[in-house]
């Protein structure tokens, strides 16, 4: 079986660290009478954190290792010693990753900014040692609280490629050829459909070093919005593009009709998402070196009412005009924000229960552990325990 190289959807199990239990201990030292309680607090459990990384562009790592478990906090100890905090587990994920809770279906996080990090499972708080429960009426408390529970959830990660411009077209229209002609990306080019199976981003660099990222997405076919030919899996990679570039095979290879191709593509986008349909777009007529393309161009404009940018990836004709038009429409000053109109965030903020003061809610929910009274014989210095 061929090893996988690209994964854009994966389910993972995340579990934060449990908080360490608070300690129950009495100070026992020679010549120190009534030493009192000295049990320290447990350490906080580690968080599971998803961190955006610009160095990876696939969820492949999580596909092979889908268990993300952070470390538990260590229990508190005598002499008021705190337990060690559990280590956070920081998982690098590619930019453009959406994180959903499998059980609720809610969007938990949307990772779009370089360096952005999101806690997807918060570590349990450390328990309180018996040193906190000393009072004027209880000089030797045996109460202490257990560490907070870990948080465990199943998450679905979906990667949606982020680029300024997304290439949209039927298989064989020449999308990969266009990306190759304008950037240093090297997608596979061939005369059979679905040559490109994974999205690929290339960067177009202008003479003044301005840059535009352009994504080559696998070909779309009729019915894609309803899932035909893995259409949905491909269309989602266009959601994050500021500008859509329709690439039309104007030569009408294999008896295709370019005007019909354009109408079908538009219909698929309309059906997939109204938001995407309103995105700024350019229409490119490719393969203009071909005689048939020259004949088809006027009819295309007549049928669709659109004046496409005529290019040929083979002869490089029209590519500069396309580059300039693309630059005009991808305005670097306007930042595009993908909206999640029907989805809401679901990150819970747990109260931070570290520190000396025991918050009321922690006291309310804490399960107090009562330990057996130690035998007087073996612990002579604990004479103050009743």
Ligand X SMILES: Nc1nc2c(ncn2[C@@H]2O[C@H](COP(=O)(O)OP(=O)(O)OP(=O)(O)O)[C@@H](O)[C@H]2O)c(=O)[nH]1
Site for Mg ion in 155-194 (CB under 5 A): 176
Interface mask toward ligand X for 279-318; x: CB under 6 A:
-------xx-xx---------------------xxx----
Closer of 196 and 241 to Mg ion (Cβ) = 196
| 366-374, long-range: CB < 8 A, 24+ apart | 366/127, 366/128, 366/145, 366/146, 367/145, 367/146, 368/143, 368/144, 368/145, 369/21, 369/24, 369/143, 369/144, 369/145, 369/146, 370/142, 370/143, 371/24, 371/142, 373/142
For 362, counting Cβ atoms within 10 Å of its Cβ (0-12 exposed, 13-18 middle, 19+ buried), the class is middle
Which helix (H) or strand (E) is 7 found in, with range? none
Contact assessment for residue 58 and residue 3, using Cβ atoms and an 8 Å cutoff: no
Q: For the stretch 284-320, what's the b/e string if a residue is b when 16 or more beta carbons lie within 10 angstroms of its beta carbon?
A: bbbbbebeebeebbeebeeebebebbbbbbeeeebbe
CB of 190 to ligand X, least distance (A): 5
- 369 interface partner picked from ligand X, Mg ion, none, CB below 5 to 8 A per type: none
Closer of 162 and 215 to ligand X (Cβ) = 215
Question: In the numeric block, which tokens belong to residue 276?
Answer: 């995407």
CB of 264 to ligand X, least distance (A): 14
Interface mask toward ligand X for 312-351; x: CB under 6 A:
xxx-------------------------------------
CB of 268 to ligand X, least distance (A): 14
CB of 305 to ligand X, least distance (A): 24
β-pairing verdict for 200-205 and 241-249? unpaired
Q: Cα(59)–Cα(383) distance, rounded to whole angstroms?
A: 60
CB of 216 to ligand X, least distance (A): 6
Q: According to the binding rule CB under 6 A, does residue 218 interact with ligand X?
A: yes
CB of 8 to Mg ion, least distance (A): 16
CB of 175 to ligand X, least distance (A): 4
Contact assessment for residue 276 and residue 244, using Cβ atoms and an 8 Å cutoff: yes
CB of 52 to ligand X, least distance (A): 28
Question: In the numeric block, which tokens belong to residue 349?
Answer: 């903020």
- 171 interface partner picked from Mg ion, ligand X, none, CB below 5 to 8 A per type: ligand X
Closer of 20 and 218 to ligand X (Cβ) = 218
- Secondary structure class of 201 (helix, strand, coil): strand
Q: According to the binding rule CB under 5 A, does residue 296 interact with Mg ion?
A: no
- 303 interface partner picked from ligand X, Mg ion, none, CB below 5 to 8 A per type: none
- 229 interface partner picked from Mg ion, ligand X, none, CB below 5 to 8 A per type: none
For 192, counting Cβ atoms within 10 Å of its Cβ (0-12 exposed, 13-18 middle, 19+ buried), the class is exposed
Closer of 195 and 203 to Mg ion (Cβ) = 195
- 101 interface partner picked from ligand X, Mg ion, none, CB below 5 to 8 A per type: none
Site for ligand X in 151-210 (CB under 6 A): 169, 171-177, 189-191, 193-196
Q: According to the binding rule CB under 6 A, does residue 142 interact with ligand X?
A: no
3-state percent helix, strand, coil for the chain, nearest multiple of 5: 25, 25, 55
The count of other CB atoms within 10 Å of the CB of residue 376 is: 10
Please give the size of the binding site for ligand X, defined by CB under 6 A: 24
Q: Cα(147)–Cα(20) distance, rounded to whole angstroms?
A: 5
- The residue ranges that bind ligand X (CB under 6 A) are 169, 171-177, 189-191, 193-196, 218-219, 286-287, 289-290, 312-314
- Interface with Mg ion (CB under 5 A): 176, 195-196
């Amino acid at each position: 079986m061929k090893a996988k190289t690209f994964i854009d959807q994966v389910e993972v199990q995340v579990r934060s660290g449990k908080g360490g239990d608070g300690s129950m201990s009495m100070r026992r030292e020679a010549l120190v009478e009534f030493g009192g309680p000295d049990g320290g607090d447990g350490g906080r459990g580690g968080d599971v954190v998803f961190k955006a990384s610009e160095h990876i562009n696939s969820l492949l790592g999580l596909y092979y290792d889908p268990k993300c478990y952070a470390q538990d906090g260590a229990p508190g100890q005598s002499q008021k010693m705190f337990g060690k905090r559990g280590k956070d587990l920081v998982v690098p994920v590619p930019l453009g990753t959406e994180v959903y809770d499998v059980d609720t279906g809610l969007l938990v996080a949307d990772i779009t900014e370089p360096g952005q990090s999101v806690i997807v499972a918060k570590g349990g708080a450390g328990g309180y040692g018996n040193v906190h429960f000393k009072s004027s009426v209880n000089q030797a408390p045996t109460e202490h609280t257990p560490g907070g529970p870990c948080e465990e959830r199943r998450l679905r990660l979906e990667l949606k490629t982020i680029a300024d411009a997304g290439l949209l077209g039927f298989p064989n229209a020449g999308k990969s050829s266009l990306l190759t002609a304008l950037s240093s990306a090297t997608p596979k080019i061939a005369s059979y459909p679905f040559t490109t199976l994974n999205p690929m981003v290339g960067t177009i660099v202008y003479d003044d070093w301005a840059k535009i990222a352009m994504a080559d997405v696998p070909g779309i076919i009729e019915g894609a919005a309803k899932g035909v030919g893995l259409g949905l899996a491909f269309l989602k990679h266009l959601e994050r593009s500021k500008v859509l570039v329709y690439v039309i095979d104007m030569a009408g290879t294999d008896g295709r009709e370019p005007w019909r191709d354009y109408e079908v593509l538009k219909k698929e986008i309309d059906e997939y998402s109204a938001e995407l349909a309103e995105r700024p777009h350019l229409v490119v007529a490719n393969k203009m070196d071909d005689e048939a393309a020259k004949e088809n161009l006027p009819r295309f404009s007549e049928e669709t009412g659109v004046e496409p940018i005529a290019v040929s990836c083979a002869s490089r004709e029209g590519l500069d005009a396309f580059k300039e038009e693309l630059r005009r429409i991808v305005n670097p000053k306007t930042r595009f924000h993908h909206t999640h109109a029907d989805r809401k965030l679901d990150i819970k903020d747990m109260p931070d229960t570290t520190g000396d003061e025991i918050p009321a809610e922690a006291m309310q929910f804490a399960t107090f552990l009562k330990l057996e009274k130690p035998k007087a014989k073996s612990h002579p210095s604990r004479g103050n325990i009743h």
